Structure formats: C-alpha cells, structure tokens
Amino acid sequence: MTFKKLEHITDLRYSTEGKTLDELFENITEALSDAIYESQLDKFDERHAINLNAKTLDMLIHDYIEELIYIANYEYKLFANSTLHIFFDKENEQYFLKGFIGIKNSNKKDYSTEVKACSFSIKLKEKPTYEAEFILDI
C-alpha cells in the first residue's frame, strides 16, 4: 500500500508517496478509492480520460482530487487503476496531467463515506521521492 490513512479529528487525512510524479498521482487515486469505497476496484467497465493543468504542483493535486470526487459524487462511478503522466511545460509555465482511470458504474449505496471536497491544505515534498499529504472534507 502506497498511502497511509492518518489521524484527523473531523475529516479524513491521507499521506501518499511515489518514486515519480506519475506514481504519486496514481497512488492518490488509490487513496481516494479507499476513502470513498474502503476497497480497491478489481475490474472496471471503461477508461475515463483525465486532462488537467495548473500553475503549481499542489494545485494540480488539489484539482485532480476534486475531479475524482466529482466523478464519484455526480457521475456515480467507482474508480481505480489509473495510468497517468504528469509533466511541466516550461513554455506555458504549467503542470499538466494526462491519462486514464478505470471506472465502473455504481450508486451511492456502494460508498462507505461521502467525501465533499479536498481541503486546500496540501503538503508536498519533492525528492528523493514525492510525498503528498491532504485532507478530505466529509
């Protein structure tokens, strides 16, 4: 497991890590799946394309988590098995996330926790591995 559930008084707090940015974001997907469904999706029905960009890496993390929460809460999809690529475009001075996540139709009864949003308090550490800590509002 490449994420840890940490103590928090009222919300959910997770720590994830990865050797690369791609791996870090893939592990964030698994942490969100754990938070919402308390399990990992073994099979999925289709692949969902994800394309995001942000000026900073912590904002890209935030926006990605918000996208996953939207998919769960408004499209009623379970998600897992992400294949993501994160890169920095020097010309545009922005980070980009491109890739796919595996999704499966569901309904709210499959959820163990309703996650409402991602807090803006994202802690990011870069090198030698990438680590991100974030709080999910429930």
- pLDDT at site 39: 66
Give the pTM: 0.91
* Average per-residue pLDDT for the chain: 89
Which whole number is the average pLDDT over 34-62? 88
Inform me whether the pLDDT recorded for 1 exceeds 60.
Answer: no
Ramachandran region, residue 32 (left: φ > 0; alpha: ψ -120 to 50; beta: rest) = alpha
Inform me whether the pLDDT recorded for 51 exceeds 90.
Answer: yes
Contact assessment for residue 25 and residue 86, using Cβ atoms and an 8 Å cutoff: yes
11 closest CA partner among 123, 108, 124, 115 = 115
Domain ranges of the chain: 3-137
String of b and e for 84-115 (b: at least 16 CB within 10 Å)?
bebeeeeeeebbebebebbbbebeeeebeeeb
Gap between the Cα atoms of 123 and 125, Å rounded: 7
138 closest CA partner among 44, 40, 38 = 38
pLDDT in tens, 60-111: 999 999 999 999 999 989 888 889 999 999 999 999 999 999 998 887 777 8
Superfamily the domain 3-137 falls into? Archease domain (3.55.10.10)
Give the pLDDT band of residue 25 (cuts 50, 70, 90). Answer: very high
Proportion of the chain above pLDDT 90, given as a percent: 57
